[in-house]
Structure 1
Amino acid sequence: MELTIRNTTYHVEDRGTGAPLLFVHGFPLDHTMWSAQLNAFAERYRVIAPDLHGFGMSTGVRELSGMEDFADDLQEILAALSITEPVTLCGLSMGGYIAWQFAQKYPERLSRLIVCDTKATADTEPTRANRLELAERVLKEGPEFFVDGMLQKLFSAATIQTNSPVVEQTRNVILKTDPQAIAAAALGMAARPDMSSTLSAITVPTLVICGAEDQITTVLDMQKIAEQIPNAQFEVILGAGHMAPMEKPADVNDIITYFLAGTDI
Protein backbone atom coordinates (compact mmCIF):
# COMPACT_ATOMS: atom_id res chain seq x y z
CA MET A 1 0.00 0.00 0.00
CA GLU A 2 0.98 3.63 -0.41
CA LEU A 3 0.75 6.23 2.36
CA THR A 4 1.24 9.92 1.65
CA ILE A 5 2.45 11.90 4.65
CA ARG A 6 3.19 15.55 3.97
CA ASN A 7 5.38 15.56 0.84
CA THR A 8 6.45 11.90 0.98
CA THR A 9 4.71 8.80 -0.34
CA TYR A 10 5.73 5.66 1.56
CA HIS A 11 5.38 2.15 0.24
CA VAL A 12 4.36 -0.01 3.20
CA GLU A 13 3.76 -3.75 3.36
CA ASP A 14 0.87 -4.20 5.81
CA ARG A 15 -0.36 -7.76 6.22
CA GLY A 16 -2.19 -9.90 8.73
CA THR A 17 -3.95 -9.07 11.97
CA GLY A 18 -2.96 -9.14 15.61
CA ALA A 19 -0.19 -7.50 17.61
CA PRO A 20 1.89 -5.24 15.32
CA LEU A 21 5.42 -6.17 14.26
CA LEU A 22 7.33 -3.35 12.57
CA PHE A 23 10.32 -4.37 10.40
CA VAL A 24 12.93 -1.73 9.51
CA HIS A 25 15.35 -2.48 6.68
CA GLY A 26 19.07 -1.89 6.44
CA PHE A 27 21.24 0.20 4.12
CA PRO A 28 20.90 0.57 1.15
CA LEU A 29 18.03 -1.88 0.89
CA ASP A 30 14.23 -1.94 1.11
CA HIS A 31 11.38 -3.89 2.72
CA THR A 32 11.99 -6.96 0.54
CA MET A 33 14.91 -8.02 2.75
CA TRP A 34 12.23 -9.09 5.27
CA SER A 35 10.21 -11.24 2.83
CA ALA A 36 10.78 -14.48 4.76
CA GLN A 37 9.75 -12.82 8.04
CA LEU A 38 6.69 -11.13 6.57
CA ASN A 39 5.48 -14.42 5.09
CA ALA A 40 6.04 -16.30 8.33
CA PHE A 41 4.61 -13.87 10.84
CA ALA A 42 1.62 -12.49 8.92
CA GLU A 43 -0.26 -15.62 9.96
CA ARG A 44 -0.37 -14.56 13.62
CA TYR A 45 0.60 -10.90 13.71
CA ARG A 46 0.05 -7.67 11.85
CA VAL A 47 3.36 -7.18 10.02
CA ILE A 48 4.37 -3.74 8.80
CA ALA A 49 7.46 -3.18 6.65
CA PRO A 50 7.94 0.25 5.09
CA ASP A 51 10.43 1.37 2.50
CA LEU A 52 12.19 4.21 4.31
CA HIS A 53 12.01 7.58 2.59
CA GLY A 54 14.01 7.56 -0.64
CA PHE A 55 14.42 3.78 -0.67
CA GLY A 56 12.50 1.10 -2.53
CA MET A 57 9.21 2.49 -3.80
CA SER A 58 9.07 5.38 -1.32
CA THR A 59 9.69 8.98 -2.36
CA GLY A 60 11.07 11.80 -0.24
CA VAL A 61 14.78 11.77 -1.06
CA ARG A 62 16.68 14.29 1.06
CA GLU A 63 20.17 15.76 1.21
CA LEU A 64 20.76 14.15 4.60
CA SER A 65 18.68 11.43 6.22
CA GLY A 66 19.34 11.29 9.95
CA MET A 67 18.55 8.25 12.03
CA GLU A 68 16.18 10.34 14.18
CA ASP A 69 14.43 11.52 11.00
CA PHE A 70 13.78 7.91 10.02
CA ALA A 71 12.47 7.18 13.54
CA ASP A 72 10.08 10.12 13.23
CA ASP A 73 8.90 8.70 9.88
CA LEU A 74 8.10 5.38 11.56
CA GLN A 75 6.02 7.11 14.20
CA GLU A 76 4.08 8.96 11.49
CA ILE A 77 3.56 5.78 9.48
CA LEU A 78 2.15 4.01 12.54
CA ALA A 79 -0.18 6.95 13.17
CA ALA A 80 -1.32 6.94 9.52
CA LEU A 81 -2.10 3.23 9.87
CA SER A 82 -4.15 3.98 13.02
CA ILE A 83 -1.88 1.74 15.10
CA THR A 84 -2.16 3.05 18.63
CA GLU A 85 -0.93 0.05 20.60
CA PRO A 86 2.79 -0.40 21.29
CA VAL A 87 4.69 -2.32 18.60
CA THR A 88 7.49 -4.83 18.41
CA LEU A 89 10.17 -3.12 16.34
CA CYS A 90 12.71 -5.27 14.50
CA GLY A 91 15.60 -3.45 12.82
CA LEU A 92 18.74 -4.67 11.04
CA SER A 93 21.98 -2.69 10.75
CA MET A 94 20.85 0.86 9.86
CA GLY A 95 17.41 -0.30 11.00
CA GLY A 96 19.01 -0.90 14.38
CA TYR A 97 20.45 2.61 14.45
CA ILE A 98 16.93 3.84 13.81
CA ALA A 99 15.56 1.52 16.51
CA TRP A 100 17.78 3.14 19.19
CA GLN A 101 16.38 6.55 18.23
CA PHE A 102 12.81 5.25 18.23
CA ALA A 103 13.26 3.60 21.63
CA GLN A 104 14.64 6.79 23.13
CA LYS A 105 12.15 9.19 21.55
CA TYR A 106 8.97 7.09 21.55
CA PRO A 107 9.31 4.61 24.43
CA GLU A 108 5.55 4.50 24.93
CA ARG A 109 5.16 3.18 21.35
CA LEU A 110 7.42 0.19 21.97
CA SER A 111 6.38 -3.14 23.49
CA ARG A 112 9.41 -5.21 22.46
CA LEU A 113 12.63 -4.65 20.55
CA ILE A 114 14.56 -6.89 18.17
CA VAL A 115 17.90 -5.70 16.81
CA CYS A 116 19.87 -7.68 14.23
CA ASP A 117 23.50 -7.18 13.21
CA THR A 118 23.82 -3.56 14.32
CA LYS A 119 25.88 -1.24 16.51
CA ALA A 120 25.12 1.26 19.26
CA THR A 121 28.42 3.12 18.99
CA ALA A 122 29.08 5.99 16.60
CA ASP A 123 31.28 5.50 13.55
CA THR A 124 35.03 5.38 14.01
CA GLU A 125 36.87 8.11 12.10
CA PRO A 126 37.96 5.73 9.30
CA THR A 127 34.40 4.43 8.89
CA ARG A 128 33.01 7.96 8.92
CA ALA A 129 35.52 9.02 6.26
CA ASN A 130 34.52 6.04 4.11
CA ARG A 131 30.85 6.98 4.37
CA LEU A 132 31.56 10.57 3.34
CA GLU A 133 33.59 9.36 0.38
CA LEU A 134 30.83 6.93 -0.63
CA ALA A 135 28.22 9.70 -0.41
CA GLU A 136 30.25 11.96 -2.68
CA ARG A 137 31.17 9.28 -5.18
CA VAL A 138 27.78 7.58 -5.49
CA LEU A 139 26.22 10.84 -6.65
CA LYS A 140 28.70 10.95 -9.52
CA GLU A 141 28.93 7.29 -10.45
CA GLY A 142 25.88 5.49 -9.07
CA PRO A 143 26.12 2.40 -6.82
CA GLU A 144 27.88 0.08 -9.28
CA PHE A 145 31.36 0.83 -7.95
CA PHE A 146 30.68 -0.44 -4.44
CA VAL A 147 28.00 -3.10 -4.84
CA ASP A 148 30.27 -6.14 -5.26
CA GLY A 149 32.49 -5.20 -2.33
CA MET A 150 29.46 -4.56 -0.18
CA LEU A 151 27.90 -7.92 -0.99
CA GLN A 152 31.11 -9.63 0.17
CA LYS A 153 30.73 -7.89 3.54
CA LEU A 154 26.97 -8.41 3.86
CA PHE A 155 26.92 -12.18 3.37
CA SER A 156 28.85 -15.10 4.79
CA ALA A 157 31.41 -16.85 2.59
CA ALA A 158 29.12 -19.87 2.30
CA THR A 159 26.20 -17.75 1.12
CA ILE A 160 28.39 -16.17 -1.56
CA GLN A 161 30.00 -19.44 -2.66
CA THR A 162 26.71 -21.29 -3.07
CA ASN A 163 25.32 -18.50 -5.26
CA SER A 164 22.36 -18.09 -2.95
CA PRO A 165 19.50 -16.24 -4.67
CA VAL A 166 19.44 -13.69 -1.84
CA VAL A 167 22.80 -12.32 -3.01
CA GLU A 168 21.55 -11.49 -6.51
CA GLN A 169 18.31 -10.19 -5.04
CA THR A 170 20.24 -7.82 -2.80
CA ARG A 171 22.49 -6.75 -5.68
CA ASN A 172 19.46 -5.79 -7.74
CA VAL A 173 17.93 -3.81 -4.88
CA ILE A 174 21.13 -1.84 -4.33
CA LEU A 175 21.58 -1.10 -8.04
CA LYS A 176 18.00 0.20 -8.27
CA THR A 177 18.34 2.48 -5.23
CA ASP A 178 18.39 6.22 -5.85
CA PRO A 179 22.01 7.43 -5.48
CA GLN A 180 20.78 10.52 -3.63
CA ALA A 181 19.03 8.31 -1.05
CA ILE A 182 22.22 6.29 -0.60
CA ALA A 183 24.28 9.45 -0.13
CA ALA A 184 21.76 10.99 2.28
CA ALA A 185 21.63 7.88 4.48
CA ALA A 186 25.41 7.48 4.41
CA LEU A 187 25.77 11.06 5.66
CA GLY A 188 23.11 10.40 8.29
CA MET A 189 24.90 7.30 9.56
CA ALA A 190 28.21 9.17 9.63
CA ALA A 191 26.63 11.87 11.79
CA ARG A 192 24.78 9.57 14.18
CA PRO A 193 25.60 9.81 17.90
CA ASP A 194 26.92 7.08 20.17
CA MET A 195 23.80 5.53 21.68
CA SER A 196 25.59 3.16 24.09
CA SER A 197 24.65 5.24 27.13
CA THR A 198 20.93 4.88 26.28
CA LEU A 199 20.89 1.08 26.25
CA SER A 200 20.51 0.71 30.01
CA ALA A 201 17.29 2.74 29.83
CA ILE A 202 15.59 0.23 27.50
CA THR A 203 13.12 -1.61 29.70
CA VAL A 204 11.12 -3.60 27.15
CA PRO A 205 11.99 -7.24 26.38
CA THR A 206 14.78 -7.17 23.81
CA LEU A 207 16.18 -9.78 21.43
CA VAL A 208 19.70 -9.26 20.05
CA ILE A 209 20.56 -11.38 16.98
CA CYS A 210 23.94 -11.64 15.26
CA GLY A 211 25.22 -13.73 12.36
CA ALA A 212 28.20 -15.78 13.53
CA GLU A 213 30.24 -14.69 10.50
CA ASP A 214 29.22 -11.03 10.46
CA GLN A 215 32.23 -8.95 9.36
CA ILE A 216 30.54 -5.59 9.98
CA THR A 217 29.10 -6.08 13.45
CA THR A 218 30.89 -8.92 15.17
CA VAL A 219 29.45 -11.34 17.69
CA LEU A 220 31.50 -9.57 20.37
CA ASP A 221 30.02 -6.20 19.36
CA MET A 222 26.49 -7.55 19.63
CA GLN A 223 27.14 -9.40 22.87
CA LYS A 224 28.25 -6.14 24.46
CA ILE A 225 24.99 -4.53 23.36
CA ALA A 226 22.96 -7.35 24.91
CA GLU A 227 24.88 -7.05 28.16
CA GLN A 228 24.01 -3.35 28.44
CA ILE A 229 20.26 -3.82 27.99
CA PRO A 230 18.57 -4.95 31.23
CA ASN A 231 16.11 -7.43 29.73
CA ALA A 232 17.96 -8.72 26.66
CA GLN A 233 18.30 -12.16 25.11
CA PHE A 234 21.32 -12.77 22.85
CA GLU A 235 21.31 -15.26 19.98
CA VAL A 236 23.98 -16.14 17.40
CA ILE A 237 22.94 -17.49 13.97
CA LEU A 238 25.45 -20.04 12.70
CA GLY A 239 26.39 -19.87 9.04
CA ALA A 240 25.12 -16.32 8.62
CA GLY A 241 26.86 -13.03 8.01
CA HIS A 242 25.44 -9.52 8.35
CA MET A 243 22.16 -10.43 6.64
CA ALA A 244 21.12 -13.20 9.04
CA PRO A 245 17.34 -12.85 8.41
CA MET A 246 17.91 -13.42 4.67
CA GLU A 247 20.66 -16.03 4.93
CA LYS A 248 19.13 -18.22 7.64
CA PRO A 249 15.44 -17.22 7.66
CA ALA A 250 14.16 -20.40 9.33
CA ASP A 251 16.64 -20.09 12.20
CA VAL A 252 15.92 -16.40 12.69
CA ASN A 253 12.17 -16.93 12.48
CA ASP A 254 12.31 -19.71 15.07
CA ILE A 255 14.20 -17.50 17.50
CA ILE A 256 11.81 -14.59 16.96
CA THR A 257 8.84 -16.94 17.39
CA TYR A 258 10.11 -18.20 20.75
CA PHE A 259 10.94 -14.66 21.83
CA LEU A 260 7.48 -13.36 20.99
CA ALA A 261 5.78 -16.33 22.66
CA GLY A 262 7.86 -15.90 25.80
CA THR A 263 6.95 -12.23 26.12
CA ASP A 264 3.24 -12.48 25.28
CA ILE A 265 1.05 -11.65 28.25
Structure 2
Amino acid sequence: MRHTLQGVCIEYDDIGDGVPLLLIHGFMLDRTLWQPQIADLSQIYRVITPDLRGFGESSDTDGKAMTMEQYAADLKSLLDSVNLKQAVIGGISMGGYIALAFYAKYADRVKGLILANTRAVPDSDESRQLRLANARKVGDVGPGFLVKTMAPQMLKSPATAEIKIAVCSMMMRQRAAGIMSALRGMALRPDRTALLRNAAVPVLIVSGSQDALISPGESEAMHALIPKSRLEIIPGAGHLSNLDEALEFNRVICEFCTQVA
Protein backbone atom coordinates (compact mmCIF):
# COMPACT_ATOMS: atom_id res chain seq x y z
CA MET A 1 0.00 0.00 0.00
CA ARG A 2 1.08 3.59 -0.49
CA HIS A 3 0.48 6.78 1.48
CA THR A 4 1.41 10.04 -0.24
CA LEU A 5 1.56 13.48 1.33
CA GLN A 6 3.18 16.53 -0.23
CA GLY A 7 5.10 14.40 -2.70
CA VAL A 8 6.45 11.95 -0.11
CA CYS A 9 5.40 8.32 -0.58
CA ILE A 10 5.41 5.93 2.35
CA GLU A 11 4.96 2.28 1.41
CA TYR A 12 3.39 0.08 4.06
CA ASP A 13 1.58 -3.17 4.77
CA ASP A 14 -1.69 -3.12 6.71
CA ILE A 15 -2.83 -6.63 7.60
CA GLY A 16 -5.35 -8.03 10.06
CA ASP A 17 -8.03 -6.65 12.36
CA GLY A 18 -8.21 -5.81 16.03
CA VAL A 19 -5.99 -3.54 18.11
CA PRO A 20 -3.82 -1.47 15.72
CA LEU A 21 -0.10 -2.16 16.11
CA LEU A 22 2.35 0.08 14.23
CA LEU A 23 5.82 -1.49 14.01
CA ILE A 24 8.82 0.66 13.05
CA HIS A 25 11.92 -0.99 11.60
CA GLY A 26 15.51 -0.13 12.46
CA PHE A 27 18.47 1.47 10.71
CA MET A 28 19.48 0.16 7.26
CA LEU A 29 16.45 -2.14 7.26
CA ASP A 30 12.90 -2.01 5.90
CA ARG A 31 9.41 -3.28 6.61
CA THR A 32 10.27 -6.85 5.56
CA LEU A 33 12.05 -7.07 8.93
CA TRP A 34 8.61 -7.66 10.46
CA GLN A 35 7.54 -10.64 8.33
CA PRO A 36 7.75 -13.09 11.27
CA GLN A 37 5.48 -10.76 13.25
CA ILE A 38 2.98 -10.14 10.44
CA ALA A 39 2.49 -13.86 9.89
CA ASP A 40 1.67 -14.45 13.55
CA LEU A 41 0.31 -11.25 15.08
CA SER A 42 -1.97 -10.27 12.19
CA GLN A 43 -4.20 -13.19 13.13
CA ILE A 44 -5.15 -11.22 16.26
CA TYR A 45 -4.19 -7.59 15.66
CA ARG A 46 -4.14 -5.04 12.86
CA VAL A 47 -0.42 -4.88 12.07
CA ILE A 48 0.86 -1.85 10.15
CA THR A 49 4.48 -1.95 8.98
CA PRO A 50 5.81 1.05 7.02
CA ASP A 51 9.05 1.60 5.18
CA LEU A 52 10.55 4.71 6.73
CA ARG A 53 11.30 7.57 4.36
CA GLY A 54 14.57 6.81 2.57
CA PHE A 55 14.31 3.04 3.12
CA GLY A 56 12.67 0.14 1.34
CA GLU A 57 10.15 1.28 -1.23
CA SER A 58 9.40 4.67 0.32
CA SER A 59 10.51 8.01 -1.14
CA ASP A 60 14.16 8.99 -1.19
CA THR A 61 15.69 11.59 1.11
CA ASP A 62 18.33 14.12 0.07
CA GLY A 63 21.04 12.84 2.40
CA LYS A 64 20.54 15.67 4.89
CA ALA A 65 19.47 14.85 8.45
CA MET A 66 16.04 13.29 8.93
CA THR A 67 15.28 13.85 12.59
CA MET A 68 13.41 11.25 14.59
CA GLU A 69 10.60 13.81 14.81
CA GLN A 70 10.39 14.02 11.01
CA TYR A 71 10.06 10.24 10.71
CA ALA A 72 7.40 10.37 13.44
CA ALA A 73 5.49 13.05 11.53
CA ASP A 74 5.43 10.77 8.47
CA LEU A 75 3.95 7.99 10.59
CA LYS A 76 1.38 10.26 12.20
CA SER A 77 0.29 11.28 8.70
CA LEU A 78 0.03 7.59 7.78
CA LEU A 79 -2.22 6.90 10.78
CA ASP A 80 -4.36 9.88 9.78
CA SER A 81 -4.71 8.48 6.26
CA VAL A 82 -6.06 5.15 7.53
CA ASN A 83 -8.36 6.88 10.05
CA LEU A 84 -6.69 5.56 13.18
CA LYS A 85 -6.94 7.77 16.24
CA GLN A 86 -4.75 5.52 18.37
CA ALA A 87 -2.35 2.60 18.00
CA VAL A 88 0.20 0.65 19.96
CA ILE A 89 3.47 2.13 18.68
CA GLY A 90 6.46 -0.21 18.61
CA GLY A 91 9.98 0.19 17.30
CA ILE A 92 13.22 -1.74 17.29
CA SER A 93 16.64 -0.07 17.51
CA MET A 94 16.36 3.22 15.54
CA GLY A 95 12.66 2.43 15.29
CA GLY A 96 12.56 2.75 19.07
CA TYR A 97 14.06 6.24 18.84
CA ILE A 98 11.27 7.12 16.42
CA ALA A 99 8.62 5.56 18.67
CA LEU A 100 9.86 7.79 21.50
CA ALA A 101 9.75 10.84 19.23
CA PHE A 102 6.21 9.87 18.22
CA TYR A 103 5.13 9.68 21.86
CA ALA A 104 6.81 13.01 22.61
CA LYS A 105 4.87 14.73 19.80
CA TYR A 106 1.61 12.79 19.64
CA ALA A 107 1.01 11.25 23.06
CA ASP A 108 -2.76 11.21 22.55
CA ARG A 109 -2.31 8.89 19.55
CA VAL A 110 -0.38 6.26 21.55
CA LYS A 111 -2.29 3.40 23.20
CA GLY A 112 0.89 1.68 24.34
CA LEU A 113 4.62 1.88 23.65
CA ILE A 114 6.95 -0.99 22.70
CA LEU A 115 10.68 -0.21 22.89
CA ALA A 116 12.74 -3.12 21.56
CA ASN A 117 16.53 -3.19 21.62
CA THR A 118 16.73 0.58 21.94
CA ARG A 119 17.68 3.34 24.36
CA ALA A 120 16.30 6.64 25.62
CA VAL A 121 19.62 8.44 26.11
CA PRO A 122 21.27 10.44 23.31
CA ASP A 123 24.55 9.56 21.65
CA SER A 124 27.79 10.20 23.47
CA ASP A 125 30.05 12.76 21.79
CA GLU A 126 32.17 9.90 20.45
CA SER A 127 29.19 8.02 19.03
CA ARG A 128 27.78 11.20 17.51
CA GLN A 129 31.04 11.96 15.73
CA LEU A 130 31.25 8.37 14.47
CA ARG A 131 27.75 8.57 13.00
CA LEU A 132 28.58 11.82 11.21
CA ALA A 133 31.86 10.40 9.91
CA ASN A 134 30.06 7.29 8.67
CA ALA A 135 27.48 9.46 6.90
CA ARG A 136 30.26 11.27 5.05
CA LYS A 137 31.93 7.97 4.18
CA VAL A 138 28.67 6.54 2.83
CA GLY A 139 28.48 9.58 0.57
CA ASP A 140 32.02 8.96 -0.64
CA VAL A 141 32.22 5.18 -1.05
CA GLY A 142 28.69 3.81 -0.55
CA PRO A 143 27.21 1.84 2.36
CA GLY A 144 28.91 -1.53 1.83
CA PHE A 145 31.39 -0.97 4.65
CA LEU A 146 28.53 -0.52 7.12
CA VAL A 147 27.04 -3.87 6.19
CA LYS A 148 30.39 -5.54 6.91
CA THR A 149 30.82 -3.85 10.28
CA MET A 150 27.23 -3.72 11.52
CA ALA A 151 25.71 -7.02 10.42
CA PRO A 152 27.85 -9.14 12.77
CA GLN A 153 26.94 -6.83 15.67
CA MET A 154 23.23 -7.00 14.88
CA LEU A 155 23.08 -10.79 14.78
CA LYS A 156 23.25 -13.21 17.66
CA SER A 157 26.17 -15.63 17.75
CA PRO A 158 25.83 -18.04 16.14
CA ALA A 159 23.10 -16.79 13.81
CA THR A 160 21.36 -19.11 11.39
CA ALA A 161 22.35 -18.91 7.74
CA GLU A 162 18.77 -17.93 6.88
CA ILE A 163 18.81 -14.91 9.19
CA LYS A 164 22.31 -13.87 8.07
CA ILE A 165 21.25 -13.88 4.43
CA ALA A 166 17.98 -12.06 5.15
CA VAL A 167 19.58 -9.28 7.20
CA CYS A 168 22.58 -8.73 4.92
CA SER A 169 20.34 -8.69 1.83
CA MET A 170 18.02 -6.19 3.52
CA MET A 171 20.93 -3.94 4.44
CA MET A 172 22.57 -4.14 1.02
CA ARG A 173 19.47 -2.97 -0.82
CA GLN A 174 19.11 0.26 1.16
CA ARG A 175 20.07 3.51 -0.58
CA ALA A 176 22.96 5.76 0.36
CA ALA A 177 20.92 8.96 0.76
CA GLY A 178 18.47 7.36 3.19
CA ILE A 179 21.32 5.89 5.22
CA MET A 180 23.09 9.26 5.40
CA SER A 181 19.90 11.02 6.47
CA ALA A 182 19.24 8.49 9.23
CA LEU A 183 22.79 8.62 10.58
CA ARG A 184 22.70 12.40 10.72
CA GLY A 185 19.25 12.36 12.29
CA MET A 186 20.18 9.85 14.99
CA ALA A 187 23.15 12.05 15.92
CA LEU A 188 20.69 14.87 16.69
CA ARG A 189 18.27 12.99 18.88
CA PRO A 190 17.63 14.37 22.39
CA ASP A 191 17.56 12.70 25.79
CA ARG A 192 14.17 11.02 26.30
CA THR A 193 14.65 9.82 29.87
CA ALA A 194 12.41 12.54 31.35
CA LEU A 195 9.71 11.63 28.84
CA LEU A 196 9.82 8.00 29.94
CA ARG A 197 9.90 8.86 33.62
CA ASN A 198 6.55 10.59 33.14
CA ALA A 199 5.05 8.10 30.70
CA ALA A 200 1.28 7.91 31.02
CA VAL A 201 0.80 4.86 28.78
CA PRO A 202 1.78 1.21 29.24
CA VAL A 203 5.39 0.62 28.17
CA LEU A 204 6.99 -2.68 27.16
CA ILE A 205 10.79 -2.84 26.97
CA VAL A 206 12.30 -5.76 25.08
CA SER A 207 15.97 -6.75 25.04
CA GLY A 208 18.01 -9.71 23.88
CA SER A 209 20.38 -11.49 26.23
CA GLN A 210 23.02 -11.44 23.46
CA ASP A 211 22.46 -7.88 22.22
CA ALA A 212 25.96 -6.58 21.41
CA LEU A 213 24.81 -3.05 20.50
CA ILE A 214 22.42 -2.14 23.34
CA SER A 215 23.02 -4.31 26.38
CA PRO A 216 20.29 -5.80 28.58
CA GLY A 217 21.72 -3.60 31.33
CA GLU A 218 20.70 -0.49 29.40
CA SER A 219 17.20 -1.89 29.00
CA GLU A 220 17.06 -2.61 32.74
CA ALA A 221 18.06 0.99 33.46
CA MET A 222 15.32 2.26 31.15
CA HIS A 223 12.81 -0.05 32.84
CA ALA A 224 13.80 1.41 36.23
CA LEU A 225 12.81 4.87 35.00
CA ILE A 226 9.21 3.92 34.29
CA PRO A 227 7.04 2.96 37.27
CA LYS A 228 4.60 0.68 35.45
CA SER A 229 6.76 -0.59 32.60
CA ARG A 230 7.33 -4.23 31.75
CA LEU A 231 10.78 -5.61 30.86
CA GLU A 232 11.37 -8.77 28.83
CA ILE A 233 14.92 -9.97 28.17
CA ILE A 234 14.65 -12.69 25.55
CA PRO A 235 17.16 -15.51 26.09
CA GLY A 236 19.40 -16.18 23.11
CA ALA A 237 18.33 -13.09 21.15
CA GLY A 238 20.70 -10.48 19.78
CA HIS A 239 19.99 -6.94 18.61
CA LEU A 240 17.27 -8.07 16.21
CA SER A 241 15.31 -9.97 18.81
CA ASN A 242 12.23 -10.14 16.57
CA LEU A 243 14.18 -12.31 14.10
CA ASP A 244 16.49 -14.23 16.42
CA GLU A 245 13.70 -15.51 18.66
CA ALA A 246 10.56 -14.65 16.70
CA LEU A 247 8.16 -16.94 18.57
CA GLU A 248 9.15 -15.59 21.99
CA PHE A 249 9.15 -12.00 20.70
CA ASN A 250 5.66 -12.49 19.30
CA ARG A 251 4.43 -14.05 22.53
CA VAL A 252 5.67 -11.06 24.53
CA ILE A 253 4.12 -8.56 22.10
CA CYS A 254 0.84 -10.47 22.10
CA GLU A 255 0.61 -10.48 25.90
CA PHE A 256 1.31 -6.75 26.04
CA CYS A 257 -1.21 -5.83 23.35
CA THR A 258 -3.86 -7.96 25.04
CA GLN A 259 -3.29 -6.10 28.31
CA VAL A 260 -3.34 -2.71 26.57
CA ALA A 261 -6.59 -3.54 24.78
| Alignment TM class, shorter chain as reference | over 0.9
Native 8 Å contact 1:211 1:242 kept in 2:
yes
Give me the identity figure in percent. Answer: 33
Per the TM alignment, residue 45 of structure 1 is displaced from its structure 2 partner at its CA by 1.2
Residue 91 of structure 2 aligns to a residue whose secondary structure is strand
Indicate yes or no: 2:166 matched with 1:169.
Answer: yes
CA deviation string 1:207-257 (max 9, x = no partner) = 100000111110110011111112200010111110000110001011111
Q: Displaced runs of 4+ in structure 1, greater than 6 A?
A: none
Q: Which moved more, 1:57-66 or 1:28-37?
A: 57-66
Native 8 Å contact 1:26 1:91 kept in 2:
yes
CA distance in 1, matches of 2:133, 2:241: 27
CA distance in 1, matches of 2:194, 2:16: 36
Residue 215 of structure 1 aligns to a residue whose secondary structure is coil
Native 8 Å contact 2:202 2:228 kept in 1:
yes
In structure 1, the partner of 2:38 is 38
Residue 98 of structure 1 aligns to a residue whose secondary structure is helix
CA distance in 2, matches of 1:261, 1:68: 28
Unpaired stretches in structure 1, ≥5 consecutive residues: none
In structure 2, the partner of 1:193 is 190
Superposition map of 1:121-140 within 5 A: 121-140=121-140
The one-letter amino acid of 2:75's match is L
Residue 157 of structure 1 aligns to a residue whose secondary structure is coil
In structure 2, the partner of 1:67 is 68
Native 8 Å contact 1:117 1:242 kept in 2:
yes
Native 8 Å contact 1:23 1:48 kept in 2:
yes
The one-letter amino acid of 1:70's match is Y
CA distance in 2, matches of 1:47, 1:56: 18
For 1:252, which of 240, 245, 249 is the aligned residue? 249
The one-letter amino acid of 1:151's match is A
CA distance in 2, matches of 1:78, 1:19: 13
CA deviation string 1:151-192 (max 9, x = no partner) = 111011121xx42x1221111111111101100100000111
Residue 158 of structure 2 aligns to a residue whose secondary structure is helix
The one-letter amino acid of 1:67's match is M
CA distance in 1, matches of 2:248, 2:186: 29
CA distance in 2, matches of 1:230, 1:135: 37
CA distance in 2, matches of 1:10, 1:198: 27
Per the TM alignment, residue 261 of structure 1 is displaced from its structure 2 partner at its CA by 2.1
Indicate yes or no: 2:15 matched with 1:15.
Answer: yes
In structure 1, the partner of 2:112 is 112
Unpaired stretches in structure 2, ≥5 consecutive residues: none
In structure 1, the partner of 2:49 is 49
In structure 2, the partner of 1:242 is 239
Per the TM alignment, residue 68 of structure 1 is displaced from its structure 2 partner at its CA by 0.6
Native 8 Å contact 1:207 1:259 kept in 2:
yes
CA distance in 1, matches of 2:220, 2:57: 34
In structure 2, the partner of 1:3 is 3
Residue 102 of structure 2 aligns to a residue whose secondary structure is helix
TM-score, scaled to structure 1 = 0.95
C-alpha RMSD of the superposition: 1.0
Residue 58 of structure 1 aligns to a residue whose secondary structure is coil
